Structure 1
Amino acid sequence: MFSLHVDTARTWRGGQHQALLTVRGLRRRGERAALAAQPRGELFRRAAEGGDLHALAPRGDLDLRAAWRLSRLVRDLAPDVIHAHDAHAIAVAALARTLAGRRAAPPLIASRRVDFHVRGNAFSRWKYRQVDRFICASSAIRDMLADDGVPAARTTVVHEGIDIDRIERAPRLDLHREFDLPPGCPVAGNVAALVPHKGQRYLVDAAAQLVREIPDARVLIVGAGELAGALARQIRRLRLEGRVILTGFRSDVPSVLKGLDLFVMSSITEGLGTSVLDAMAAGLAVVGTRAGGIPESVVEGETGLLAPPGDAPAMARAMACLLRNTVERRAFGAAGRRRARAAFSAERMVGETAAVYAAVAGTRPAANRAGPPGTP
């Protein structure tokens, strides 16, 4: 099976990591996997050593020049399937298939990793009709696509995977020394992009309540993004300087995780949450929200505790409960590590993805193949 993967992002987030794990995992299985990605993006840089890499830099959904280049690539490479890993990739791949001609067009498979409703404009409806199979990162995402009118026959749930061995090999970082924290203080942490749907503002509010109950507790928020300034101002307003620390982007996240006592995922919406999976693999108990696919990874009362999305007091109570109860916290962490290895390995994810390719390749797609809006 030969798959051509398309990802248009310049940033490095969970979706790009999953794309790279998929490409590398397929190659380890002896299958050919080519990648078309932004030449100035982090995914392109990290994938360079593997070869079979092609530059693609669309400027938006309707970039016909990029679509034409991809159509030429499809004709030259003749992959069995195209796998689009983000929304813009779906658009450029759908246009490329139209330009390449229906006979030359392999099936289009699309990853769906966010629990947002699909847009309702005409072009968005058209591009999603071109997808022969959606690979949904959680059942919550599959249910949302069903609400948007996507037939169940065109969706398959494949939970995301993580490189568990990489996490286990990572050395533990002494966070107290790294961030000049008081000796022995309990440390909770969050790892996510600083964007609205990750809900860190509720985590900061929760921290204000937490330190009233556990005065020496500290909270690390690891990541970069548009809300860095707003979160810093919120921390100052609540007089949490030195208690809630914005670390910025870190390249040593597995080591940071191993230095934490507790992991917190504060998302308002979440497809599945690979940071949660990483934390579980690192042996951490998790306080999460009931947003999107998080309850599919965190088993409440077994690997962690869950709070309603946006409920800072409930989040604070759960954090305080586990920070005070060392025995339960460690038991949750051990159970989480076992669950991560059993259910969320990259090898399992790649195998299930390859099975989707095999099921879809060679079949006549049921999707409407009419041209995009405004074309004859």
Structure 2
Amino acid sequence: MTTTTPILYLVNEFADASVNNLLLSLIHKLDSTRFEFHVLGLKASGGPLESAFEESGAHVVRLGMRDRLGIGLVKPLSRYIHDHHIQIVHTHVLRPDVLGGIAARLAHCPIIISTKHNPSYTRQQPNWLLRNAVYWPTMYLPTHIVTVTELIRQQAINHLHIHPNRVSTIHNGIEIERFYRPDARKPLRDSLGFAPDELVMTFTGRLVGGKGLRTLLPAAQQVMSQYHHVRLMIAGDGPLEAELKRMAQDLGIAGRTVFTGFRTDIPQLLAASDLFVLPSGIEGLPLALLEAMAARKPSVAAISGGTPEVITDGETGLLVPAGDVQSLVMSLTTLIQDSAFRQRLAERGQQHVRAHFSVDHMITEHDLLYQSLAQRRDQQILVMP
């Protein structure tokens, strides 16, 4: 008789965020006859994905965090892990890493996994020094670490001296076909006021420090001064939105720049685009870049985190140094001038993402990891005196 393995995913809240969507993919695609899923939210508030988790068949619980740190949740969380015989606790972000790791240790959970999406917090992020002081020590709480890039894995091994057997790289994956929507190109361009002969450069993501947007706008201004058929689209919202709009006005490109605000129709926006640009200097493994390449858009990205694991320069996209306006101008100009080169990069980029960064590939890697850690645990139990 086969028994299911109870897995607990711990999240801050049920927001429509990339990590939560990743967990939904795991729950939908992993074999429900072998795994039983529990999703616990630390905060009392729900969120737009709470019902989606419930509909997936997972056991969904709000723990109701009442203080900023959530230390009071360690005991009830540990009790839940013990009472439901949880065999795997898997976390992804800092507060769940800390609280989940401590609670799982207290409950003697045999497998504790933490996925690290970035090497550290950067100066552009609030309380970065304090958060880093907590972030790195949490690497020692789990029994196994998953990193979304090989770069982060090597940092954990070389700088924190974590044994290589305790660290695996599993790249994030996306639904490739969801983002390839050539049928949506004309309707979206019409709705946004793009003429048929205009070339649209697009950025998607949060408008926050570290995303390279203060590099992008001056680069776009130089490009637009040479090519009058080029437009810029910035899709997303965030604290820098007003500043960036003023910057576009000061640079004289406000009339040729579209700020869409927050959008949920990213596949359609990418369909309306001609090339994608990600000048960010604070990436782990950027999903926005994967989405653009899946949409068959030639892409320019700053060298940061895992972007070199996604783009081979000149083959599947173009890489530029973060913060280098002139390098970005040169790469954008190359793509604008050479439509055949744009097409080659777009096709190769899409093929690369389909082969290495699909959601199915990511699911398979998680399934194999869960199985191997369970087998390793069973072998340790067998050899115990």
Does residue 163 of structure 2 align to residue 157 of structure 1? no
Question: What residue is the counterpart of 1:369 in the other structure?
Answer: none
Counterpart selection for 1:87 from 90, 94, 101: 94
| Percent of residue pairs bearing the same amino acid type | 27
Change (3 A) 1:124 1:313: closer
Gaps of 5+ in 2: 122-128, 379-385
Question: What residue is the counterpart of 1:352 in the other structure?
Answer: 365
| Cα distance in 2 between the residues matched to 1:12 and 1:311 | 33
| Cα distance in 2 between the residues matched to 1:143 and 1:61 | 32
Change (3 A) 1:11 1:213: farther
Is the 8 Å Cα contact of residues 23 and 34 (structure 1) preserved in structure 2?
A: no
Mean alpha-carbon deviation: is it higher for 354-363 or for 297-306? 354-363
Deviation of the 1:208 alpha carbon? 1.0
The number of equivalent residue pairs is: 361
| Cα distance in 2 between the residues matched to 1:339 and 1:120 | 33
Question: What residue is the counterpart of 1:111 in the other structure?
Answer: 115
Question: What residue is the counterpart of 1:48 in the other structure?
Answer: 54
Change (3 A) 1:11 1:293: same
Question: What residue is the counterpart of 1:370 in the other structure?
Answer: none
Question: What residue is the counterpart of 1:8 in the other structure?
Answer: 12
Deviations 1:131-184 (A, max 9, x none): 111111111222333354141332111111001132246842434312213342
Deviation of the 1:127 alpha carbon? 3.4
| Cα distance in 2 between the residues matched to 1:13 and 1:200 | 21
| Cα distance in 2 between the residues matched to 1:336 and 1:352 | 22
Counterpart selection for 1:17 from 1, 16, 21: 21
Question: What residue is the counterpart of 1:177 in the other structure?
Answer: 190
| Cα distance in 2 between the residues matched to 1:294 and 1:260 | 21
Does residue 46 of structure 2 align to residue 34 of structure 1? no
Deviation of the 1:62 alpha carbon? 3.8
| Cα distance in 2 between the residues matched to 1:265 and 1:4 | 34
Change (3 A) 1:120 1:342: closer
Deviation of the 1:188 alpha carbon? 1.1
Counterpart selection for 1:255 from 243, 265, 268: 268
| Cα distance in 2 between the residues matched to 1:60 and 1:341 | 43
Deviations 1:92-122 (A, max 9, x none): 102322443x3xx23210111113269554x
- Partner of 1:198: helix, strand, or coil? coil
Change (3 A) 1:150 1:244: farther
Does residue 83 of structure 2 align to residue 70 of structure 1? no
Counterpart selection for 2:145 from 124, 134, 155: 134
Counterpart selection for 1:230 from 243, 248, 263: 243
Is the 8 Å Cα contact of residues 207 and 244 (structure 1) preserved in structure 2?
A: no
Is the 8 Å Cα contact of residues 27 and 33 (structure 1) preserved in structure 2?
A: no
Deviations 1:187-225 (A, max 9, x none): 011111112122222111211111012122111111122
Question: What residue is the counterpart of 1:200 in the other structure?
Answer: 213
| Cα distance in 1 between the residues matched to 2:27 and 2:319 | 33
Question: What residue is the counterpart of 1:333 in the other structure?
Answer: 346
Mean alpha-carbon deviation: is it higher for 220-229 or for 7-16? 7-16
> Relative contact order (C-alpha < 8 Å, sep 6+): which is higher?
1
| Cα distance in 2 between the residues matched to 1:306 and 1:259 | 23
Deviations 1:220-273 (A, max 9, x none): 111122221221221122121122221111111011111211011111021111
Deviations 1:269-299 (A, max 9, x none): 2111111111111111111111110011112
Gaps of 5+ in 1: 366-376
Task: Within 5 Å, give how 1:213-224 maps onto structure 2.
Answer: 213-224=226-237
Does residue 284 of structure 2 align to residue 271 of structure 1? yes
Change (3 A) 1:182 1:5: same
RMSD: 2.4
| Cα distance in 2 between the residues matched to 1:57 and 1:141 | 32
Deviation of the 1:312 alpha carbon? 1.7
Mean alpha-carbon deviation: is it higher for 125-134 or for 112-121? 112-121
Is the 8 Å Cα contact of residues 313 and 319 (structure 2) preserved in structure 1?
A: yes
Question: What residue is the counterpart of 1:304 in the other structure?
Answer: 317
| Cα distance in 1 between the residues matched to 2:91 and 2:355 | 27
Mean alpha-carbon deviation: is it higher for 298-307 or for 237-246? 237-246
Paired AA for residue 323 in structure 1: I
Mean alpha-carbon deviation: is it higher for 23-32 or for 284-293? 23-32
Paired AA for residue 150 in structure 2: S
Paired AA for residue 86 in structure 1: V
Question: What residue is the counterpart of 2:124 in the other structure?
Answer: none
